[in-house]
Amino acid sequence: MADTHLDQNVLSALQEVMEDEYPELLDTFIRDSEERLHLLQNSADAMQLMEAAHSFKGSSSNMGAVRLAELCHELEQRAKQKSPTGIEKLVGEIDGEFAIVRPLYEAEKQRSLSE
Amino acid sequence: MSPSLEPLTILIAEDSAADRMLLSSIVRRQGHNVLTAANGAEAVETFRQQRPHLVLMDAMMPVMDGFEAARQIKLLAGETLVPIIFLTSLTESEALARCLEAGGDDFLAKPYNPVILAAKIKAMDRLRRLQATVLQQRDLIARHHDYLLNEQRVAKAVFDKVAHSGCLNAPNIRYLQSPYALFNGDLLLAAFTPAGDMHVLLGDFTGHGLPAAVGAMPLAEVFYGMTAKGYGLSETLREMNAKLKRILPVDMFCCATLLCLSFQRRSVEVWNGGMPDGYLHTIATGERKPLTARHLPLGVLSPQTFNDRTEVFPMALGDRVFLLSDGVIDTCDGNEQLFGVDRLQRVFAANRQPDALFGEIGQALRDFGGEARDDVSMVEVSLLEATQLTPPALVYSDSGQSCPLDWSVNFEFRAETLKRFNPLPYLLQLLLEVHGLRAQSGALYSVLAELYSNALEHGVLGLDSSLKRDALGFARYYQQRNDRLEALQDGYVRVHLQVAPQGKGGCLVVRVEDSGKGFDVARVLERPLDGVRLSGRGVSLVRQLGRNASWSDEGRSARVEFFWEALA
C-alpha cells in the first residue's frame, strides 16, 4: 500500500544525504506542502494554479511522494489548457493524497528519531 | 563522493523550503559553501554582495522568476563566467530554451540526483576556470603587447636620434620607408663626408622585431662616426663587418648596399652585400645599370676574409641611384606569386617622370594585390652640383685654448701601409686642431684626398688617368687600381704638413710626394680650370680649392697652401 504513495528508496537516500537534519527536512516538507495546498485551493487564475502545481510537483518528486507528484503534474497540464475542466476534482484528489502521505511522513520521522 | 579540490561558494535560489534545504545539504556535503535565496530578487541581491562562483536557480519563483534573475546575474558578472544551472522539472523544449536564452548554462531535473549534480558542478567549475584562465591570459597578452609597443616606441625614439643625425633630408635624397621599418630590420642612413661627398647605406637585418633592430644601432654609430671622420667606404665597411661579426649571433647578419656619391668627381662608388640589385639611372641614355650584389652580407665573414672591394661608376648631373629592399620585389599577391624584378623593370620602363617613380612603384605593388608590407624601403639619390648641397657645419666642443699654431710634421706611408690604411682621417683630425682651418675643412679634406689619391694611383700605382675618359675605361681604371694595390711591393707616399702663424691668422703648407714616374705638369696645367671631363679633375680641383698650387720634381711633388685670418 505505502509503496504506491511513497518511494522507500528515495526516503533512504534522503536520510543518507540529510543525516541529522532528516527529521527537519520531513517537517519542512509537510509545512511547505500545507502552504502549497492552500495556494492550489485559492488560486486566482490558471497561471497561478499552474505555477503552484509545478512547484508542488517538483518538491513532491524530490521527497519521493510519487502519487502526489503525478497528480500535481496532471493538474499542471490541465491548467495549461484553454478551458481547463475537472480542476476542482483534481485539487480534491491532491488534498486526499496529501492526507494519506502526511501521516506516513510523520511516522517516518518518528522512526528516524528512534534510530 | 569526493569533494572537489577547492570549495566553491554556490548560491541556491529556490522558493520551495524543502527543496532548498535538501539541495543545500547535498551541495554542502560535496564540500562547497552554500548561500540561499527564496526568490529571484533575493538571488540577485545575494549575488551582488557575495559574488558566488556558481548559481543553482529554480526557474519558477515568486517576486522575480529565475529567468530574469539569471539575466541580471550574468550582467553583473560581466566577463567572468558564473555558471547558472537551472533547477527544473520543466520538460517542454520551449521552457528549456528559455533557460538557455536567459543565460543558463545547464539544467538539473527534479528529483535531484546527487551524483549528477556533483558531476555538473564539476563540469561547470572546469568551464569557469577555463574562462578565468582565458581572461587572465588575454589580459597578460594585452599587457605584454602594450609593453612591447612601448619598448618599440622608446627604441625608435632613441634610434631616430641616431639615424636622423644624418642628412636624409638633403635635397638630392628621396626615400620611402615605413615609420616602423626599423623593426623589420630595414635601415637607411645618409651622411656627408668632410669632403662633401655623400655616404648612403640601405641595410636589411635578418629577422623581425627587436632582434632585427638591435644591430642597427652599432651599425649606424660606425657609419656616422667613420663618415664624419673622413673614412672611405672600404674602411667603413671593414669596421661595420667586424663589429657586426663580433656582436651578432651566427644566424644574424645585415644585407647592405653602401654608396659614396662624389659631387666633385661626379662618380658613385658602390658596395652591395646581399641586397637586391640597385640601379644607376643615366638620364641622358635612359639606361638603368644594375648594381648587383657581389659580396656576402655584413656580419658573415671574419675580418680576414671580408672583401671590401667596391665598384666606381661615373655619373652626370641629374643621374640617379635607386636602391630598394627585398620587401619590394618579394611582395606577394593572393596566389603567393612574387612581384619580382621583371615587374619592377616594367615600372621603370613605363616611367616618364623620374620624380613620380616611387608613387608608380607603390601603385604597382598595390595593383599587384599584395598587402601593404611595412618592410618596403626605397631610396633614390641624385647627383646635383656640389654647390646645391650644404653639408652641415661641423660642431667642435673644445675651447680653442690649446690650439697648436707653429709646427710641422712628415709622414712616409710605404707599400704595406698603402695597401690597407687610409691616413686621411688622421691627417684631417690633426689639422682640425688648428681652429683657423676648421672653416675650410671641406676644401682642406677634398684637396688632401685628391693629392693623396693622385700620389697613390698615378704615382705609386702608375695608373693612367686618361683611362677615365669614358664610362667603360672608368670602370677598368678602378679595376686596375684594386689589382695593382693588392700586388703592391714597394713605393711610398710622403705627406709634409707645416703650420705657421702669420699676423693674427696663419698659413698651412701641404706637400705630397710619391715614388712614381711623375707627369707632364705643363701639359696638364694648360687645361682650362672648369673642365667637366672624367679625367684630370683632380688637378683643377686642387687649384680651385687651395692657394698657390704647384708641382715640381716632374710632377712627383705637389704643394698647396691654405690661409686663414684672425678668428672673430
pLDDT digits (tens, 9 = 90+) for B418-441: 988 889 888 988 898 888 888 888
Nearest CA-CA distance, residue B68 and chain A, Å: 16
| Whether residue B475 sits in one domain with residue B369 | no
Measured between CA atoms, the residue of chain A closest to residue B114 is A17
User: A45 or B28: which carries more pLDDT confidence?
Assistant: B28
Into how many domains does chain B fold? 3
pLDDT of residue B144: 93
Question: What pairs with residue B272 in β-bridges?
Answer: B257
pLDDT exceeds 80 at position B326? yes
Look at residue B157 and tell me if it is in a domain: no
**B430 and B550 share one domain:** yes
Examine the domain organization and report whether B181 and B303 are in the same domain: yes
User: Phi then psi for B72, rounded to 5 degrees?
Assistant: -65, -40
Contact flag A24-B60 (C-beta cutoff 8 Å) = no
Residue-number span of the structural domain to which A88 is assigned: 2-113
Mean pLDDT confidence for A18-47: 89
Taking CB atoms and an 8 Å limit, are B16 and A55 in contact across chains?
Answer: yes
- The CA distance from B468 to B474, in Å, is 4
Average pLDDT over residues B44-73: 91
Cell reading at B353: 617622370
**Quick one: pLDDT band at residue B3, thresholds 50, 70, 90?**
very low
B367 and B316 in a common domain: yes
Q: How do the residues of chain B divide into helix, strand and coil, expressed in percent and rounded to 5? A: 40, 25, 35
How near does any CA of chain A get to the CA of B21, in Å?
Answer: 7
CA B142 to chain A, closest CA, distance in angstroms equals 47
B25 touches A: beta carbon within 8 Å: yes
More confident residue, B444 or B271: B271
Residue B169 counted as domain residue: yes
* Residues B430 and B308 occupy one common structural domain: no
Examine residue B268 and state whether it is found in any structural domain, yes or no: yes
B60/A54 touch (CB, cutoff 8 Å), yes or no: yes
Q: What is the mean pLDDT of residues B347-367?
A: 85
- What CATH number does residue A17 fall under? 1.20.120.160
Give residue B393's pLDDT. Answer: 65
Establish, for the pair of chains A and B, how many residue pairs have beta carbons separated by less than 8 Å: 56
Same domain, B344 and B464: no
pTM of the model: 0.65
Q: How far is A97 from chain B (nearest CA, A)?
A: 18
Of B331, B361, B388, the last residue of a domain is: B388
What pLDDT sits at residue A26?
Answer: 94
Task: Report pLDDT digits (tens) over B375-389.
Answer: 788 999 999 887 777
A27 close contact with B: CB closer than 8 A: no
- DSSP one-letter code for B466: G
The residue in chain A having the minimum alpha-carbon distance to the alpha carbon of residue B113 is: A62
Mean pLDDT score of chain B: 86
User: CA of B30: which chain A residue's CA is closest?
Assistant: A17
The rounded Cα B255 to chain-centroid distance in angstroms is 11
Cell numbers that stand for B211 in this block:
632582434
B151 in a structural domain: no
Nearest to A62 among B15, B88, B110 (CB): B110
How many angstroms away from the CA of A83 is the closest CA of chain B?
20
- The answer to whether A64 faces chain B, any CB pair under 8 Å, is yes
Which residues make Cβ contacts (< 8 Å) with residue B188, sequence separation at least 6? B163, B168, B175, B177, B181, B200, B201, B202, B203, B377, B379
Minimum CA–CA partner of B14 in chain A: A55
Residue to test with chain A: of B14, B15, B20, B21, most A Cβ within 10 A: B21
Cβ distance of B19 and A62 shorter than 8 Å: yes
Mutation to test the B interface, candidates A8, A17, A22, most B Cβ within 10 Å: A17
pLDDT of B185 > 90? The answer is no
**Reported confidence tier of residue B356, pLDDT bands at 50, 70, 90:** confident
Q: Report pLDDT for B156.
A: 79
For residue B170, give the CATH number of its domain: 3.60.40.10
In tens, the pLDDT along B119-153 reads 999 999 999 999 999 999 999 999 999 998 888 88
In chain B, the residue whose alpha carbon lies closest to the alpha carbon of A57 is B89
pLDDT at B90: 63
> Taken in order B428, B434, B438, B440, is the CA torsion positive or negative?
negative
Note whether residue B501 is domain-resident. yes
**Do residues B380 and B454 share a domain?**
no
Neighbours of B299 (CB within 10 A): 27
B430 and B372 within one domain: no
CA distance B354 to B344: 14
Q: How far is A100 from chain B (nearest CA, A)?
A: 19
Mutate to test the interface with B, among A12, A21, A37, A55 (most CBs of B within 10 A): A55
From chain A, pick out residues whose CB is under 8 angstroms from the CB of B18: 25, 28-29, 32, 59, 62-63
B19:A59 CB<8 A: yes
Statement to judge: residues B416 and B313 lie in one domain: no
3-state secondary structure B114-152: HHHHHHHHHHHHHHHHHHHHHHHHHHHHHHHHHHHHHHH
∠ CA B248-B381-B184, nearest 5°, is 35
Residue B310 confidence (pLDDT): 92
Residue A102 contacts B, CB cutoff 8 Å: no
Q: Is the pLDDT of residue B93 over 60?
A: yes
Q: Is B567 on the interface with A (CB under 8 A)?
A: no
The pLDDT confidence band at residue A4, using thresholds 50, 70 and 90, is: confident
Domain that holds residue B430: 407-564
Query: In chain A, how many domains are there?
Result: 1
Same domain, B261 and B326: yes
Cell readout for B316 is 652626370
CA atoms of B254 and B365, how far apart (whole Å): 25
Find, in chain A, the residue whose alpha carbon is nearest to that of B19. A59
Percentage of chain B with pLDDT > 70?
92
Q: Is the CB of residue A21 less than 8 Å away from at least one CB of chain B?
A: yes
Q: Which residues does chain A have within 8 Å of residue B110's beta carbon, measured at their own beta carbons?
A: 57-59, 61-62
Phi-psi region of B61 (alpha: psi -120 to 50; beta: other; left: phi over 0): beta
Which residue of chain B has the CA closest to A35? B16
Alpha-carbon dihedral sign for residues B111, B116, B118, B121: negative
Q: Dmax of chain B from CA atoms?
A: 125
Mean pLDDT across B278-304: 93
Q: What is the mean pLDDT of residues B9-36?
A: 93
From chain B residues 515-554, the ones with a CB under 8 A of any chain A CB are: none
| pLDDT band of B276, cuts 50, 70, 90 | very high
Contact B60 A10 (CB under 8 A): no
pLDDT score for A103:
93
CATH of the domain at B114: 3.40.50.2300
The per-residue pLDDT for B1 is 44
pLDDT reading at B452 higher than 90? yes
**For residue A112, pLDDT beyond 50:** yes
Residues of chain A found within 8 Å of residue B89, distances taken between Cβ atoms: 54, 57-58, 61
pLDDT, position B395:
62
Domain CATH for B469: 3.30.565.10
The pLDDT of residue A2 is above 90: no
Where does a domain end: B87, B118, B134? B134
Return the percentage of chain B with pLDDT > 90, whole number: 44
Question: Using the beta-carbon criterion (under 8 Å), do B110 and A24 form an inter-chain contact?
Answer: no
Angle B339-B344-B348 (CA atoms, 0-180°, nearest 5)?
160
